[in-house]
Amino acid sequence: MATVVIVGAGPTGLTLACGLARQGVPVRVLDRAEEHPTGSRGKALNPRSLEILADLGLAESLAAHGRTHLPFRKYYEGSFVNDTDPFADAVPTPDAPYESGLTLPQWRVEGLLREKLAEYGVEVELGTELAGFEQDEDGVTALLGDGGRIRADYLVACDGGRSTVRKQLGIPFEGNGDPESAMVCGDVEVEGLEPDRWHQWFGPTGAFMLCPFPGEPRWQLQATPELDADGTPLPPSLESFRRLAERYTGRTDLRLSNATWLSTWRINVRMVDRYRVGRVLLAGDCAHVHPIAGGLGMNTGIQDAWNLGWKLGHVARGLAGPDLLDSYQEERLPVAAWTLGISNAGMAAVAEGTRTPGVGVEAGRVGDVTGLSIGYRDGSLADDLLDGPLRAGDRAPDAPCTAADGTPVRLFEAFAGDDFTLLGFGAGALPALSGLPAHVRPLAVDAGPDGLADGGGHARRAYGVTGDALVLVRPDNHVALTVAAGPAAGDTVRAYLASL
């Protein structure tokens, strides 16, 4: 079986490692840091990322540490304006179980992913720096900073915006940045504020925001930086944070202490023009960086990893040919371009919104930030023969059903794992559910006493199926193929799988 080296142990690298390790693929995760990060950094998982991490078995632990429906408390020039909840009207639906995102610090997400990875016997190799690599037709050799060498079949770069791998490949990181536009960030302990709101102060000269985390003493601080006499932004520090707090809030009773993860963020809008060079692939921030509006950074990386994970795993396990990896770039490169566009527009809207009392960061929601509408209809893996409202390439929706013994079962529960799922709607689909390859699970819906009952009709409505039909769902829960049930339907499914 092929082996994989992953460079970088952030959410992207860890999600990919979990997906590969669960498939039994030998994987090593390298990170040059001596210790695991403790900064809050990205602080929200969107609904699509929650679906992905739930598939990995993390739903309950994430819910225990995160919070949905965190209200925004907005002030303008020190005065209270309003409390709002951008997702106040959002509720779970039969086809989408997560009504909103989840607020929690990135270090917590990474910790839970590392725990899951450890269940598969894989630990992050800290203090292990990639100095370079060499690749040939048969594999990749990772060259380590201490002189060591690791031979693998594939190498995946998840090493961030300053990626060593991307630079060695010579892949341009095209786009633009604004070195003068900056935001200071940090984690601080706060006394004097209710920890049930994200407090946001705005004014003509900028913004100052403090976001709490459930059960954590530290809050995330984001602010327009102080300027020195020459107009140069001052670096983040506890002393500067305290001065900014008094300036924007007009209060002297707020007490900030124990500042950690001091950081300066500048606008960069850049992406690569390819995700694969031979046996080396890119994912996450090393392939695309963009403004923070919409909170898409960590989420886009996780979703890169989810798309790549099943494909690389199937190639490593001999279930598909290496050309399948080309579809990773084909499907995710347009998503990166879309992400840069929507986050850039959102950042411009936020900049305008902060100058308007009562608006603020909510202005950044200029499009779908849930991730649920992202699909691959135009990709080469999408084969649609039904021409219904749900098309091949779309995210496969959830639906509540009932098992033969009366137990409630959701489709997402049945999909969980690393295999394809062949949904057979109606008795006419039953013949096609037999004789399938071992990596395809058959699942009959409303097709007899031994399958799932769709008593509420939620599955048929979600998939736009009225008669007897087959829907092949990929391991990443996107629709691969739709076809009407019939004598040749099973052959159509097997031919699709063989084409991989």
Token digits of residue 393: 């390439």
Distance, CA of 26 to CA of 391 (rounded, Å): 34
Q: Mind listing the pLDDT tens digit for each residue in 226-244? A: 998 888 889 999 999 999 9
Terminal Cα distance for the chain, rounded? 18
- Chain-centre distance of CA 217, in angstroms? 26
**pTM of structure:** 0.96
Q: How far is Cα 276 from Cα 303, in angstroms, rounded to an integer?
A: 16
When pLDDT is averaged across residues 144-158 and rounded to a whole number, the result is 97
What residues are paired with 103 via a beta bridge? 44, 67
Position 341 scores a pLDDT of: 85
Mean pLDDT of 300-324: 97
CA distance 61 to 103: 13
Q: What residues form DSSP beta bridges with 482?
A: 384, 471
The span from the CA of 78 to the CA of 247, in Å, is: 8
Residue keyed to tokens 């429906």? 69
| Average confidence score pLDDT of the chain | 93
Q: Please name the residue that has the structure tokens 């009773």.
A: 253
Residue 335 has pLDDT above 70, yes or no: yes
In DSSP notation, 400-428 reads: EEE-TTS-EEEHHHHH-SSSEEEEEESGG
Q: Compute CA 425 distance to the chain's CA centroid, rounded to the nearest angstrom.
A: 31
Q: Which residue has the higher pLDDT, 481 or 450?
A: 481
pLDDT digits (tens, 9 = 90+) for 9-65: 999 999 999 999 999 999 999 999 999 999 999 999 999 999 999 999 999 999 999
**Confidence (pLDDT) at 297:** 87
- Of 87-91, 222-226, 259-263, 419-423, minimum mean pLDDT range: 87-91
pLDDT-derived band at 365, boundaries 50, 70, 90: low
Per-residue pLDDT band for 348 (boundaries 50, 70, 90) equals confident
Is residue 265 a contact partner of residue 185, using CB atoms and an 8 Å limit? yes
Statement: residue 353 has pLDDT above 70: no
pLDDT of residue 56: 98
* 347 pLDDT more than 90: no
| Inter-residue contact 74 to 82 (CB < 8 Å) | yes
Burial tier of 191 (Cβ tally within 10 Å: 0-12, 13-18, 19+): exposed
Give the pLDDT band of residue 290 (cuts 50, 70, 90): confident
Does position 351 have pLDDT exceeding 80, yes or no? no
Beta strands in 101-223 (DSSP E): 102-103, 124-125, 130-136, 139-144, 149-152, 154-157, 174-191, 198-203, 206-211, 218-223
**Quick one: the chain helix, strand, coil %, rounded to 5?**
30, 30, 40
Q: Residue 134: is its pLDDT beyond 80?
A: yes
Q: How many CA atoms lie within 13 A of 397 on its CB side?
A: 20
Spatial CA neighbour of 306 closest among 10, 492, 55, 76 = 55
φ/ψ (deg, to 5) at 473 = -110, 130
Sorting pLDDT into bands at 50, 70 and 90, what band is 306?
Answer: very high
Q: How many residues in total does the chain contain?
A: 500
Give the closest residue to 86 by CA, choosing from 364, 373, 342, 352.
Answer: 364
Q: What band does 354 get if pLDDT is binned at 50, 70 and 90?
A: low
Residue 489 CA to chain centroid, in angstroms?
34
Position 232 scores a pLDDT of 86
Reply yes or no on whether the pLDDT at 363 is more than 60: no
Q: What is the distance between the alpha carbons of residues 56 and 175, in angstroms, rounded to a whole number?
A: 34
Could you tell me the sign of the dihedral formed by the alpha carbons of 182, 183, 185, 189, in that order?
A: positive
Closest CA to 80 of 190, 202, 220: 202
Distance CA 318, CA 322 (A): 9
Q: Dump pLDDT digits (tens) for 454-475.
A: 999 999 999 999 999 999 999 9
Sketch out the chain's domains with CATH numbers. 4-67+101-174+269-350+359-364 (3.50.50.60), 383-499 (3.40.30.120)
The dihedral built from the CA positions of residue 22, 24, 28 and 34, taken in this order, carries a sign that is positive
Q: Tokens 């050309």 correspond to what residue? A: 323
